Amino acid sequence: MIGTLLEFTSSHIKDKQGIFGIVEMSGIKIVGSFDSMQLKEGMKVKMSECGVGPDGTAFYRFVKA
């Protein structure tokens, strides 16, 4: 699925470190993580992985489309 990156930043919270952003895909907005900081608002991204982590919370990962 291809979406648009609306905004991104980075988290420093323990066990939640890393780059994260809000992505709009087919009218649905989802917050997920990115491996690269080479990002720009408005760029096209695709979901590379999603699931439920060991703590029971959902996760979404995105990469450049």
Partner 1 sequence: MRRVAISSWATSKFVKDSKLSLFELACEPCVEILKDGNVSRKDIDAVMFSSCTTEQYSSTIVSEMLGMRPKVSHRIDNLCNSGTNAVASAFSLIASGLCDSALVVGAEKTDSSGNKLLWDITRGSFMFPVHWAAIFAKAHMRKYGTTEEQMAMVSVKNHRNASKNPKALFDKPVSLKEVMDSKKIADPVKLLDCSAPCDGASAVLLVSEEKAKKLTDSPVWIKGIGQQTNSASFANATADLTTIESAKLAARDAFKMAQVMPSQVDVAELHDAFTILEILAYEDLGFAKKGEGGKFVGQKEIAINPRGGIIGCGHPVGTTGVAQVAEIASQLAGAAEKRQVKNCKTGLVHNLAAAGSSATVIIMGA
Q: Which residues bind partner 1 (CB under 8 A)?
A: 6-13, 16, 20-22, 28-33, 41, 53, 57-60
Bridge partners of 22, per DSSP, are 7, 31
CB 11, min distance to partner 1, A: 5
Q: Which one, 58 or 65, has the nearer CB to partner 1? A: 58
Query: What DSSP letter does each residue of 11-61 carry, written as one string?
Result: E-STT--EEEEEEEETTEEEEEEES-S---TT-EEEEEEEEE-TTS-EEEE
CB 54, min distance to partner 1, A: 11
What's the residue count for the chain?
65
Q: Which one, 16 or 38, has the nearer CB to partner 1? A: 16
